[in-house]
Amino acid sequence: MPNIVVVGSQWGDEGKGKVVDILAPHVDAVVRYQGGNNAGHTVVVGREKFVLHSIPSGILHPGLRCVIGCGVVVDPADLIEEMEALVRRGIVLDGNLYISRNAHLIMPYHRALDLAMEAKLGDRRIGTTGKGVGPAYMDKAARLGIRMADLLNEPLFREKLEFNLTRKNRSLSEVYDAKTFTVEEILGPYLRYAGWLAPYITDTALLLNRWIANGQSVLFEGAQGTMLDVDHGTYPFITSSSTTAGGASTGTGVPPTKIHGVLGVSKVYTTRVGGGPFPTELRGKMAEALRARGNEYGATTGRPRRCGWFDAVVGRYAVRVNGLDTIALTKLDVLDEFETVKIAVGYRYRGELLTEVPSEERIWNEAEPVYEEMSGWQCSTAGLRDYAELPAKARQYVERLAEVVGCDFCLVSTGAVRDDTILMDGSPLVRWFPSLRGSIPPR
Ligand code: IMP
């Protein structure tokens, strides 16, 4: 059974939650491999909307095993809140949710430092979600982090907390002029969280590898997107984890030799939240129209997302760095009313045509998109489930997207609900999961 990675091809918010939700009934387990509660994966089931932050989107499928891998950073208070909210809505977690004992904890001082560091950056601020994700990964790399397993060992947890807090408090008060913490105010709540989370904490790398050895299939659910990757993104305007497909291996303990394919998820236009380069960004009425039609507001922070045309330079890059086998295109219906639609096929920088993403921030900032313009279809594609039903101009648009990024698409999403989806016959996706055929009921 195939083990497939689902990865965002842009700056996050591509609709990975919906794609994972569609694939979940056809796999045995879903695992998150990086990021933390900075993510907001929206899934619409019937009339109900779920927004998941740390828990894999697969949890909405009864009996499906869901794993929070070692590459994820976990805010225990937020995670427990998310768990309680799911339980209140009838979702069963016991026996279905597993948390890596090696996953690092987000501590209150990480959140405080995230906000303080951003405030100091002024115009150069990243526009983080303020969840403490960056500082938690800083501690992980600095070998100062506190892990899930430590939470279960009270004396060790106290010792690590005391050691860290001395340094963090100094930094908070002396560098950032911010509020400090006492050991007791963190210890009490965190020990309560330990009691709550203990039944779910385990050696998830061992479990995942055992399941795979038994012929079960695992779906790797990426968070954020390629251009926010700590190595391959628009550094320093990135998140602090390996969002690209390679992260699936390090973030779970499943070796690359056991991963069979990579599926990219891409909107038919582009959005980004926070600061940093975005060559195809639109301003004014066009941006507002995209934002309104696409409901482009952050699922975690509620911030309005920056909106722009599809960027094929970014698309090609995502195909290369992730080794994409196929792409799921989302939100086609958002473009339904536009008279013209545009695709950036290159950038112009000081008279030169660039066809690859720039390596320098300065070039990113000055790069002007070179557009191909196509006429819009100006009729509704909302809810269509058959490729042949799409207006010819919409088909021409998606086929041109596939051509310019150099990768075929396997699915086109035409609405928020699960079934508003077109599955492409003969794509790698239906080869990987033959049971997907016929899984979308006709309208
Ligand atoms: P952080 O991950 O909170 O440190 O934020 C770093 C950058 O990543 C900021 O530009 C955020 O807006 C962006 N970011 C983090 N998580 C997401 C996400 O789930 N979707 C889109 N952007 C995100």
Catalytic residue among 13, 150, 229, 311: 13
The protein residue whose alpha carbon is closest to atom 11 in ligand 1 is 128
For residue 112, the CA-to-ligand 1 centroid distance in Å is 17
Same domain, 187 and 331: no
Domain shared by 193 and 220, yes or no:
no
Whole-number pLDDT of residue 1: 85
pLDDT value, residue 433: 96
Q: Do 170 and 80 share a structural domain?
A: no
- Write out pLDDT tens, residues 417-437: 989 999 999 999 999 999 998
**Are residue 383 and residue 400 in the same domain, yes or no?**
yes
- Whether residue 393 sits in one domain with residue 266: yes
Task: Find the 45 Cα to ligand 1 centroid distance in Å.
Answer: 25
Ligand 1 atom showing the smallest separation from residue 130 Cα: 3
Q: The CATH number of the domain where 231 resides is what?
A: 3.90.170.10
Most informative mutation of 239, 272, 281, 300 for ligand 1 (most atoms within 8 A of CB) = 239
Q: Is residue 48 part of a domain?
A: yes
Quick check: is 247 in a domain? yes
83-116 pLDDT per residue, tens: 999 999 999 999 999 999 999 999 999 999 999 9
| Ligand 1, CB within 6 Å, residue ranges | 12-13, 38-40, 126-129, 131, 133-134, 223-224, 228, 239-240, 273-274
Best substitution site from 14, 129, 138, 297 to test ligand 1's pocket, by max atoms within 8 Å of Cβ? 129
Range of the domain at 15: 4-92+203-436
User: Could you tell me which residues are beta bridge partners of residue 220?
Assistant: 5, 31
Domain count, the chain: 2
Residue 266 and residue 409 in one domain: yes
Chain segment 244-256, per-residue pLDDT in tens: 999 999 999 999 9
For the beta carbon of residue 156, count every other beta carbon within 10 angstroms.
Answer: 13
Same domain, yes or no: 85 and 116? no
Nearest-CA residue for ligand 1 atom 2 is 239
Residues 431 and 314 in one domain: yes
* CB contact at 8 A, 308 and 350: no
Closest ligand 1 atom to 228 CA: 8
The low-confidence residues of the chain, meaning pLDDT below 70, are: none
Q: What local confidence, expressed as pLDDT, does residue 48 receive?
A: 87
| Domain annotation covers residue 97 | no
> Of 144, 179, 200, which one is at a domain's C-terminal end?
200
Q: What is the pLDDT of residue 441?
A: 86
Substitution site in 13, 138, 228 for ligand 1 pocket (most atoms within 8 Å of beta carbon)? 228
- Write down the pTM of the prediction: 0.97
Which ligand 1 atom lies nearest to the CA of residue 40? 19
pLDDT value, residue 439? 87
For the record, the structure tokens of 167 come out as 């340094």
Residue 278 lies in a domain: yes
Out of 21, 26, 41, 420, the active site residue is 41
Atom 19 in ligand 1: residue holding the nearest Cα: 39
pLDDT of residue 42: 84
Give, in degrees to the nearest 5, the angle at Cα 60 between 108 and 19: 95
Domain boundary among 200, 221, 249: 200
Q: Whose CA is nearest to atom 10 of ligand 1?
A: 274
CATH of the domain at 118: 1.10.300.10
Residue 343 lies in a domain: yes
Q: Ligand 1, closest atom to CA 300?
A: 19
Could you say which of 170, 200, 230 is where a domain stops? 200
Pocket test for ligand 1, best of 11, 54, 224 (most atoms within 8 A of CB): 224
Catalytic residue check, 41: yes
Residue 441 is assigned to a structural domain of this protein: no
Asked if residue 309 is part of any domain, the answer here is yes
Q: Whose CA is nearest to atom 21 of ligand 1?
A: 12
Residue nearest to atom 23 of ligand 1 (CA): 224
Ligand 1 centre distance from Cα of residue 442 (Å) = 36
Residue 194 sits in the same domain as residue 283: no
Within a domain: residue 142? yes
